[in-house]
Amino acid sequence: MRLGGINRYGERVEERAVLGDGRPVQAGDVVRAIHLARRVGLGAAAVTATAAAVLTRRRG
């Protein structure tokens, strides 16, 4: 996947450094990234909740 390059915001054009060697980002990539971010967030919350429960039990 490749990010950066020429970006257009209405009439304004910005040229930014290119990151990556792959193809340009497509709409489906954004959807997949959102789903991945949600799964990672839920996983982090589960790990945090488990750690908190374990530490609370150890302290008595």
Domain ranges in the chain?
3-59
Query: CA–CA separation, 29 vs 35, rounded Å?
Result: 10
Q: What is the mean pLDDT of residues 23-30?
A: 90
Mean pLDDT over each residue of the chain, to the nearest integer = 93
- Length of the chain measured in residues: 60
User: Quick count: other Cβ atoms within 10 Å of Cβ 13?
Assistant: 9
pLDDT at 9: 92
Residue 60 has pLDDT above 80, yes or no: no
Q: What is the mean pLDDT of residues 12-24?
A: 92
Give this prediction's pTM: 0.62
Query: CA–CA separation, 36 vs 29, rounded Å?
Result: 10
pLDDT at 3: 86
